[in-house]
Chain A
Amino acid sequence: MTTLERPEIRTTGLPAQSWAIARRNFLHIRRMPEMLMDVTIQPVMFVLLFAFVFGSSIDVATPAGYRAFLLPGIMAQTVAFASFIVAVGLTADLDKGIVDRMRSLPINPAAVLVGRSISSLVHASIGLVVMSLTGLLIGWRIHTDVFQAAFGYVLLLGWGFAMIWVGIWVGSAMRSVEAVNGVMFATMFPITFLANTFAPTDQMPTVLRFIAEWNPISSLTQAVRVLWGNDQPLAEGAAFPMHHPIPFTIGWIILITAVVAPLAIRTFRARTAD
């Protein structure tokens, strides 16, 4: 019979616990680098496809042409897909009992969500870096000062933060990764395409143009374009958000977070409490 050593269990804080969980998610990426395809190969393909295949037939009036116009749009789409990343990861963990395992430990239950959010935000940021490098290669440039440039990236990450809550909500509500894929594809693709992301809105039919210009993704895209000097002069009759994209983007981030975060937490609790 051995005498068991009972180690000291220190109560660590939420940051340390969240970091431990985020680190585990990073290890996942290291083991399965193909998880990064959604923020590397996929958007790069989009950039190349749109820039070279459709680009010649889309007429924009930005100084550097369609490619400069396109880049902020694809970046906005990529951060919007952060919700996808969160939802898929969370559903997989719930499904496999990893979340229950964590909840049986003496840790703050929020650490599971915060850790997941940190790693997803980093995941999406990798996409922004890859996108920026690709852009530089094909002729995209930021034409403003460093503060405006940085502000553009901050807005993109802020958007990513709001999208994390959407991801937690969807991830808690869905029963399988396949269901998450289905729901996210069916919603995020139309939302991110029915906007000014890939094509100027002024040539769309009136109703479509109205929807596209009020689409929150359009505010974000337009804000980033303005901040980076990639915007074209506003067309006649542009909707109100297009004239004030930065306040609208900040407003959307706050509104989405304020509405979805409580829903997400409630759904996650309901899913895990019973």
Chain B
Amino acid sequence: MRLAEERLSVPATSVVAMTRSAIEAEGLVKHFGDTVAVDGVSFSVPEGSVLGLLGPNGAGKTTTVRMMTTLTRPTAGTGRVAGHDILTDPAAVRRSMGLTGQAATVDELLTGRENLRLIGNLYGLDSSYIRRASDELLERFSLADAGDRTAKTYSGGMRRRLDLAVSLIATPPVLFLDEPTTGLDPRSRVELWEVLRELVADGTTLLLTTQYLEEADQLSDNIVVIDRGTVIAEGTPLQLKDQSGAAALVVTVSHSGDLQTAEALLRPHAREVHVDVGARQLTAPSEGLGHMTRVAGIFEESGIVLDDIGLKRPSLDDVFLHLTGHRAEQGADDAAEGDPADQLDQTAGGMAR
């Protein structure tokens, strides 16, 4: 009630709103016995913006979120959510935020609608409001047809969407999402991103944790990179990418047989050329757009068929490697990470971005 007034007085789009912090962490520390899970993490998220908390498994992302959402008491430090202190006023924090945890915590034996009603009841919302809001949310998350089926019958993506819908039943101004797309197939992931963008457009402040560099890149206004419980970098996705050096010119030939000829052609026009036989790619330090156009002309004349030529900014993965000396994602997650956005980044390089 008090919250509603507070938010109404400051429209989410105004400049004033952008300068206020919806989420603030101040030197959060968490020890589990002898293990230091989080070791002095601070950040601030302006109202209506998205912060991506990026880091590998075990970096302390979930513990940070659990402290900010009052589920775990910090060993030291504190934080504020919508202006309420997580230590001194946890009840007000819980009234102002929604949380979607790492595993979809929907109740499998209840229908989508019953899940929404349960949480709505616990928030003390009016039952006619719950009905109306449930209809809207189910519609918005493409679950309208599934609303009366038990969640057990849902696919992974549907469960995630229901989980998110449940977190939104009381329209909290601040939303915490812990690895919202882990385990989703690429299509469901992109769909969920779409929904998240809409929420942010509506003025919700978002903190999301992810191990997917691409996800942080796609959604966040600001990124905080954490590793082994401490913040090792922060900034906009662009700033972080700039930190790890210049863009590269990437040429992909259509036939691997042309690779050597292409290398010989490119060599005089580049300081160094790196050949990736498997990807049929030549990579050279970029010397700007004019340089790329010149190289494109040379290949045009040579008659070598190209799949693609473009500028590639360092991906956040490169940034992570640069910052930590180890890769962000090991093994199993590689397939998911390598795919869509990296390619997108490459083909659209120098133009859209």
Contacts and interface: CB of A to CB of B under 8 A. Distances in A.
Interface of A: 1-2, 4-12, 16-17, 20-21, 23-24, 27-28, 31-32, 96-98, 100-107, 111, 272-274
B139 to A, nearest CB: 13
A101 B110 contact: no
Interface stretch (B67-75, B274-282, B283-291): B67-75
Given A98-B107, A273-B72, A6 B173 contact: yes
A106 B94 contact: yes
Interface stretch (B97-105, B260-268, B292-300, B307-315): B97-105
A105 B97 CA distance: 8
Interface in B101-125: 101-103, 105, 107, 109-110, 114, 118-119, 121-125
Contact of A104 (B69, B73, B126, B173): B69
A104 B122 contact: no
A27 B114 contact: yes
A8 B118 CA distance: 16
B171 A7 contact: yes
A107 B114 CA distance: 18
A88 to B, nearest CB: 14
> What DSSP secondary structure best describes chain B's contact surface?
loop
A28 B121 CA distance: 17
Contact of A5 (B99, B122, B171, B173): B171
Interface residues of B, number: 44
B76 to A, nearest CB: 15
A11 B150 CA distance: 29
A10 B124 contact: yes
A107 B204 CA distance: 22
A31 B124 contact: no
Given A1-B201, A6-B170, A273-B72, 7 more contacts: A4-B204, A97-B103, A98-B105, A101-B101, A103-B70, A104-B69, A274-B72
A103 B1 contact: no
Contacts of A105: 94, 119, 122-123
A8 B4 contact: yes
Contacts of A24: 107, 110, 114, 118
B162 interface: no
B214 to A, nearest CB: 26
A1 B124 contact: no
A17 B121 CA distance: 8
